[in-house]
Amino acid sequence: MDINTILNELFNFRTKKRRENIDDLKEIYALLGFPCQNSKIIHVAGTNGKGSTVTFIENILFANGFRVGKFTSPHIQKFNERIIFNKQMISDDEIIKYYQIALEKIKKYSSKKENPHPLNFFEITFFICLLFFNEKNPDFIVIETGLGGRMDATNLINSDIAAITNISLEHTNILGNSLKEIAFEKAGIIKKNELCLFSQNLPELIDAINERTENSINLIEKYHNMKVILDKKNYKTIVTLNNSTFEIPLFGKFQANNFLIAYEIAKIYNIEDKIIQKGLDDMKWIARFEFFSKNPPVILDAAHNEDSIKTLLENLNELYKKNEVIFITSVLETKDFKKIFEKLETTTNKIFITSLSGITYGLNSEEIKSRMIKENIPIHNITFENDIKIAYNKTLELVNQKNTSYKAIVICGSFYEIAKFKNLIG
């Protein structure tokens, strides 16, 4: 079987059936021989910032000479991006090899069960990841949760350190309608009183962590003297703490909180500040305030919920005035449309909405328009255009007009929106 056949088959493993436990995943894990059960694992959960935090950790550990595996999701352009060893993607041949091994055990397990819970592609992907890393035997494996934490496939193995970036309301139809419920799901990754690092001073999160472990560090409190400056010329974030200054090659004050988790882990493993900076210097992280172009400025950001949109707008407000930015976006069915568009319209008077039909919870522009009308969301500043390439060309025309007030274009809304843009334009 070739890689395209395998990936098509893999992505067809989809289910909307809610999980009540991950016992079946643990049984399949046992059938696979408990891969990576003795590995040193750092497990990262949170509403926003998981991916950049995991990549901070990966780069710093790698710069110190450790062999490092990283598991993240979703991918932007290539499935292989999800599974990284020593900064290199898993190969197509390795995906095929470990997929076939995992599928054999899944079928063996399912054949013995009267009504087995259907696995989804993320869960099978994580088994591929574990089998791959088991053979590579890294010094550290850094894992980003998928949706939530407690019922996530990544939660079937024990970790050495749990980290939670932050929480806000997201996927409320799955994770719960309150911060308390969501904190409970995220804190579900904490095992056996293990160390938990977190970087948000939120009572609901603190309470949920304290219920799971007595061994936690509130990094916002520990490093309360941290200073953060934005370098608006080079689009970097400058962080000073413990009399050391670090240049983070990502733009945004919120990145400092994500960096704190990686910094604390570096100190736990006695990594020097100069090595931490070397790891940061080598870091590349797409779709997080990424400048696709600088003339005119075209910014890609995977902001996809109220909290991450708020953070994106805070970044933009550091660089541009109101109505100087045009947005291209699309919104998944599960998101809070009203809150997202209310925030966008505080910053811009021009939005293009494109289609994400064909992916789970994706909608085309007309479906988004219908829902906006139903929810009484103003649409007078919005152009509905399914084709993201046409939308982008129209925004370029607007920005390049003489005497225009528009200075930048932002593509945001989800990783799927960024992937679609990069595949067609990039």
d(CA 388, CA 197): 39
**332 φ/ψ angles, rounded to the nearest 5 degrees:** -70, 155
Q: Where are the CATH 3.40.1190.10 domain residues in the chain?
A: 3-281
Q: What share of the chain is helix, strand, coil (3-state, %, to 5)?
A: 45, 15, 40
For position 176, what pLDDT does the model report? 54
Q: Which amino acid is at 142?
A: V
Candidates 125, 118, 178, 123; CA nearest to 155 is 123
Identity of residue 404: T
The 10s digit of each residue's pLDDT in 22-68 is: 999 999 999 999 999 999 999 999 988 899 999 999 999 999 999 99
CATH 3.90.190.20: which residues of the chain?
290-424
CATH class of 290-424: alpha beta
Q: What angle do CA 154, 144, 285 make, to 5 degrees?
A: 155
Specify whether the CB–CB gap between 30 and 129 falls below 8 A: no
Q: What is the pLDDT of residues 318-347, one digit of tens each?
A: 999 999 999 999 998 888 899 999 999 999
The stretch 134-149 carries a mean pLDDT of 95
As a whole number of angstroms, the distance between CA 171 and CA 182 comes to 9
The CATH code of the domain at 3-281 is 3.40.1190.10
Kindly report which listed range (42-51, 172-181, 232-241) carries the lowest average pLDDT score. 172-181
196: phi > 0 → left, psi -120 to 50 → alpha, else beta; which? Answer: beta
Global pTM? 0.89
Q: Kindly report the three-state secondary structure assignment for every residue of 174-240.
A: HHCCCHHHHHHHHHCCCCCCCEEEECCCCHHHHHHHHHHCCCEEEHHHHCCCCEEEEECCCCEEEEE
Provide the strand spans (E) within 29-168: 41-45, 68-71, 83-85, 88-89, 140-144, 161-164
